[in-house]
Each structure stands twice: as C-alpha cells, then as structure tokens.
C-alpha cells in the first residue's frame, strides 16, 4: 500500500472519469482524499489533459513531484472512441447545448461516410469550438459564448493519425480517432457533418489512451479512494 510520502514524491494515477464530472472535480476529489487519508496539509495534484464533463475515460493525474511531468504527458498522442449524430448541429458541437439546426441525410451513403474520413487524416486545420476553455483576452471562450458575445477564433493545426468509422446505425456513426494534443473531437464531428453536406454533433466521447497509458488500467475515483487507508 502506498504511503503519504509516496504521493508527495510523485505518483501517476490513471483515473476513469465518470460522466458529468469536470476534470477539475476529479483532481479536487483525489487531492482531498489523499490529504485526508495521510493527514497531509498540502500536496500538488494536477491532470495531464482536460476532458469535457460530457466525456468519460482516461485522466492522467499526477501527484507531488510527478506534476513536473504533466506537460510531457499532455503532449502525447491520444485515442478516443465515441458517436457522431448526423443531421443536426448544436452551438457547443455536443449535447451541452440544444439542437439549433437540422439537415437532410438522405444523400449520405455508407461509402460517402467511409470516403469522407480520408479528408480528416494527417495534418489538418481545425477551429476550436466556441464553447471551449481556450483563453482569449483573459476570458475563456465559453464565457463569451454563454454571454452571447461574438468572438473571433483562429484555426490551429492538429494531426489525426487514424480516423475510422467502426459502426453505422441510422444517423449514429461510431468512431475511433488517434490524434495529437489540441485536437477537438467536437470540432471533428461538426466539420465531418459539413463535409457530408449535412450537419453533425458529438453525442458520446470516451478517451481510451494517452501515450502508453490506457483507460482499461485505470480506476474510477471511488475505486481509487477505496485503495487508500482509513484516515490515519
């Protein structure tokens, strides 16, 4: 069993983030649990890459001296699975906001879907969603969006190494993506819908890997807390 000194010296924790939790909540919950378990007044805890509240899956959480490795872990390639819904868009590009536009999907064939994935592999230009935590003029983009303020967003280059549609069920497209740091899967959903001369939004997202770290080796926050000793 790990000791308080182990956590201060540095641990890398693989956490399977539950749906609706923010990454910040997960970090705070673990920090509080570690402090309580070992009677530690202060300990650094941080995560290597945010997951949206409506996404589940791998959070790499570092403690103590291992927090110095966060930037390294953040830069590693990531793998996601999930579902795009064709025929409608939302302002946030996912289910955080209501559907604002609907589009025809009658012209979309399976061949068109599979062929269109080729447009999104390699180095591509991508606009981050306006509902995102990126900062502009000292404010996060989602603050502008929620206030109904227009804001200019610059595109960025990202790299998608693999993009495959793993199942098609009506307007639901299940996918797997391997991509670089900074890639927004919500933007990929939105842009994919446009490339099909329709619309699309993200309905399910799960991060399955960061570098060599895999979600199947992770624990939920509750499972991790259960490994800690009772308060010393």
pLDDT score recorded for residue 181: 93
Confidence class of residue 228 from pLDDT cuts 50, 70 and 90? very high
Query: Nearest CA to 195 among 84, 97, 95?
Result: 84
Tens digit of pLDDT for each residue in 97-124?
999 999 999 999 999 999 999 999 999 9
pLDDT at residue 232 is higher than 60: no
25 contacts: CB under 8 Å, gap ≥ 6: none
163 contacts: CB under 8 Å, gap ≥ 6: 117, 120, 121, 175, 176, 177, 178, 188
Confidence class of residue 71 from pLDDT cuts 50, 70 and 90? very high
pLDDT score recorded for residue 76: 97
Confidence class of residue 174 from pLDDT cuts 50, 70 and 90? very high
Confidence class of residue 57 from pLDDT cuts 50, 70 and 90? very high
CATH 3.40.50.720 fits 78-210, yes or no: no
User: Is 57 in contact with 214 (CB distance < 8 Å)?
Assistant: no
**137 has catalytic annotation:** no
Provide DSSP, 24-40: HHHHHHHHHHHHHHHT-
Cα 31 to Cα 27: distance, rounded to the nearest angstrom: 6
Mean predicted lDDT score pLDDT of the chain: 93
pLDDT score recorded for residue 216: 98
pLDDT score recorded for residue 203: 98
Q: Is the pTM of this model over 0.75?
A: yes
163 vs 134: which has the higher pLDDT: 163
Q: Which of 6, 16, 52, 137 is catalytic?
A: 52
Q: Kindly report the CATH number that applies to the domain delimited by 4-75+212-226.
A: 3.30.2350.10
Residue spans of beta strands (DSSP E) within the chain: 12-17, 45-47, 56-63, 78-86, 88-89, 101-102, 122-126, 135-136, 139-140, 156-169, 172-179, 200-210, 213-214
As annotated, the residues of the chain forming the CATH 3.30.2350.10 domain(s) are: 4-75+212-226, 78-210
Share of residues in the chain with pLDDT > 90 (%): 83
pLDDT score recorded for residue 145: 61
Cα 71 to Cα 209: distance, rounded to the nearest angstrom: 16
Tens digit of pLDDT for each residue in 74-88?
999 999 999 999 999
For CA atoms 206, 76, 7, 63, the dihedral sign is negative
Tens digit of pLDDT for each residue in 122-159?
999 998 887 666 666 666 666 766 666 666 778 899 99
Tens digit of pLDDT for each residue in 14-37?
999 999 999 999 999 999 999 999
Between CA 116 and CA 124, with CA 119 as vertex, the angle to 5 degrees is 145
Between CA 82 and CA 88, with CA 85 as vertex, the angle to 5 degrees is 145
Write the CA distances from 229 to 15, 30, 58, 63, integer angstroms. Answer: 18, 13, 24, 17
Burial 18-47 (b: 16+ CB within 10 A, else e): eeebebeebbebbbebbbebbebeebbbbb
pLDDT score recorded for residue 141: 63
């Amino acid at each position: 069993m790990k000791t308080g000194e182990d956590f201060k010296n540095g641990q890398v924790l693989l956490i399977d983030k539950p749906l609706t939790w923010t990454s910040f909540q997960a970090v705070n919950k673990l920090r509080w649990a570690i402090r309580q378990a070992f009677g530690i007044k202060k300990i650094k805890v941080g995560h290597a890459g945010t997951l949206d509240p409506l996404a589940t899956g791998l959070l790499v959480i570092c403690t103590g001296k291992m927090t110095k490795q966060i930037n390294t872990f953040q830069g590693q390639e990531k793998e996601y699975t999930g579902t795009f819904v064709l025929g409608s868009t939302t302002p946030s590009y996912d289910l955080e906001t209501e559907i604002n536009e609907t589009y025809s999907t009658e012209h979309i064939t399976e061949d068109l879907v599979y062929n269109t994935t080729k447009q999104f592999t390699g180095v591509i230009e991508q606009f981050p969603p306006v509902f995102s935590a990126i900062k502009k003029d000292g404010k996060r983009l989602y603050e502008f969006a929620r206030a109904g303020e227009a804001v200019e967003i610059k595109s960025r280059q990202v790299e998608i190494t693999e993009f495959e549609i793993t199942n098609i069920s009506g307007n639901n497209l299940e996918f797997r993506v391997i991509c670089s740091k900074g890639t927004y899967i919500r933007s990929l959903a939105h842009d994919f819908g446009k490339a099909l001369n329709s619309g699309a939004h993200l309905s399910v997202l799960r991060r399955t890997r960061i570098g060599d770290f895999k979600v199947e080796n992770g624990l939920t926050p509750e499972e991790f807390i259960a490994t800690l000793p009772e308060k010393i």
